[in-house]
Amino acid sequence: MSLTHYILDFAYTFNTCINCFPTPSLHINNRSYKIQRLLGEGGFSYVYLVQASNGEYFALKKIRCPFGAESLQHAMKEIDSYKIFNDEHIINIIDSNVVQERDGSKTVYILLPYFRRGNLQDTINANLINHAHYDEREALQLFLEIARGVRVMHKHRVDEDSGLNTRRAGNNTLEFERESQPLMDDQGVTPVTSMSNLLPSGGAVVPYSHRDIKPANIMLSQTGVPVLMDLGSCTRARIEVASRQQALELQDYAAEYCTISYRAPELFDVKTNSVLDEGVDIWSLGCTYFALLYCSSPFELQSSESGASLSLAIINGQYRFPEAPKYTERTKDVIRACLTVDPKHRPDIDRVILMVQGALQQF
């Protein structure tokens, strides 16, 4: 059943004036939810805290699609992305629906778990206000769990069963693409052609990249497990850039969906005849770990201190480690490796995990 009930009588003012009315409610696929408050917003997206009839709380993401098929397709792609992974480190989708608005546009609703502990940016903000910082061992343990979640994306395996075309994209790099098929089939399995001659048994590896890893997109579960969220920018990791037009399109996409202070330098100036891959997430991980330790992304800190252009600082890899708080060189080496400007020399996620585990051995 569609979402047929309008949110009381204020469908168009609901986003900015939710507190002006009695508690509104809506229905998603025959289930009723009461909207409690706005949790956050950005662009055409809004996230609300909602409560089910049994008292359980959820996060409801509302995505307005005012630009027709293109914006709707992006929202539907986000829904598909939530269904790909099954791991405690990556947020799972609970329900979704698409509604036709009075003006002819569509709105997508995505029901997600609610994390009472908030996200890592909340923790960073609290540390900044309280002049506190993470203990190094605690930060390494947390970062290790974040990296394990990223590894699930980068090493994603699919069943060897039709639907996905593969082709070479440079030296031993595979790009995967589907012809006019959704990311998921009715059974929740991503189709793929047989590739047993290329990869070990257990299915084909189809790497995915999150493309917008940052503290605000990492929630904390009740047990303290970091959970990657906001998969709107998630896509197959390896993209062969075959033309200048495609390069410019990828740059525009990154500018819109990948947060600038955590964005890899190769996304600022995408080169023709290059291959974008999982390395963009490794860079973002380095920025995220730096922010955990020093309460700011490395390039925002550099820009604020020197007055330099943020984008130029990122492209040139210009940053420095603050004198305080004090952390060991092994911890800093993890960040240095992740923030290697040339993606060809950046470590993969397995190497990052090994480096973090090695740094933990000193405690």
d(CA 31, CA 1): 10
Residue tagged 């969220």 (tokens): 229
- Residue 197: Cβ within 10 Å count: 5
CB of 75 within 8 A of CB of 108? yes
161 annotated active-site: no
Q: Which of 343, 348, 331, 161 minimizes the C-alpha distance to 263? A: 343
Residue tagged 């603050």 (tokens): 322
CB of 230 within 8 A of CB of 217? yes
Residue 250 amino acid letter? L
Kind and range of the H or E element at 157?
A: strand 157-158
For the chain, state the CA radius of gyration: 21
d(CA 316, CA 266): 11
Backbone phi, psi, residue 97, to 5°: -160, 155
Q: 61 a known binding residue?
A: yes
Can you read off the two tokens belonging to residue 334?
Answer: 């993890």
The one catalytic residue in 212, 230, 277, 281 is 212
d(CA 104, CA 18): 23
251-260 LR contacts (CB < 8 Å, sep 24+): 254/211, 257/211, 257/212, 257/232, 257/233, 258/211, 258/212, 258/233, 259/212, 259/214, 260/310, 260/311, 260/314
Say if residue 325 is preceded by a cis peptide, omega within 30 of 0. yes
Annotated binding site: 61
Annotated binding site for ATP: 61
Catalytic residues: 212
